[in-house]
Amino acid sequence: MDCIMNRTKICIVGACGRLGTSIIQESIKNFEIVGAVEAANSPNIGKSLINLGIIESDIPITSSDDLSSAISKADVTISATVPDSELVNAPIYVENNKKIIIGTTGFSEKQYSKLISILDQKVPSLITSNFSIGMNFLYRLSELVGLLPEEFEISINEKHHSKKIDSPSGTALSLAKIISESKGYENLIFDRSKHGKREKSELEVTSERIGGTPGIHEVNIAGQYEILRLEHIVFSRLAFARGALSAAHWLHDVSEPRIYSMQDVISR
């Protein structure tokens, strides 16, 4: 009983989405689900997790209009929704002094800056474009590309399921930011057909949307006579779910109110 009582209590915002559902299903052994939230116009509002076939739990799907109630018992909230919703919800986490993990992608620069301004120095918060432990290790490796001779050029390719909304993926853009800072690239090229030969200042980022692909990211590093490919393949959304839960376990023990990343989690 003591083990059960000491489990981290979590609320999932975006509970019926692909990622939210995976997190809930993966959480049942070591976490306690105390809230599940969906957009106010969702047809699932009021239905229980067991009714929806997610897990055997009577926890109901709560409307985002009643977010404060849904997160009231949570130690940590995990959110995977859309940028506009995150900006509406962020002040509520602050008002209720709740730790928040955000895995939403597709923010514009203006939206992301606003999100940071709402959360930073207010509550312990973790924001990431990818929960996968393997991908966050690839982020770390990508910081080293600046050590390569100037002749080496780099490109990024990402593949996802055909229902993914944002393109390029938030993960690809995170990789591009890391690589650009390390290698000195100034311009991102998303469509080579609109450009001529490659310039030294350019980093090429390409996207594909195909079938049910959970996520494939490839960093190609090419010299004149050799090429190195760093590839990360997700073959189950459990990779994201387990990473998100690792982040929740880690953030539960954090007290300093600032913005964290998955790099903090894997460096523990």
182 phi and psi angles, rounded to 5 deg: -80, -40
249 is catalytic: no
| Structure-token match 């050029």, residue found | 153
Q: Which of 160, 183, 217, 232 is catalytic?
A: 160
164 is catalytic: yes
Distance between CA 160 and CA 138 in Å, rounded? 18
| Beta strand ranges found along the chain (DSSP E) | 8-13, 31-38, 61-63, 76-79, 99-102, 125-127, 153-160, 187-189, 202-209, 215-222, 227-234, 259-260
DSSP per residue, 163-187? T--SSS-HHHHHHHHHHHHHHT--E
Ramachandran quadrant class, 249 (left: phi over 0; alpha: psi -120 to 50; beta: rest) = alpha
Residue 218 in 3-state DSSP? strand
Q: Which of 98, 164, 217, 232 is catalytic?
A: 164
Enumerate the active-site residues. 160, 164
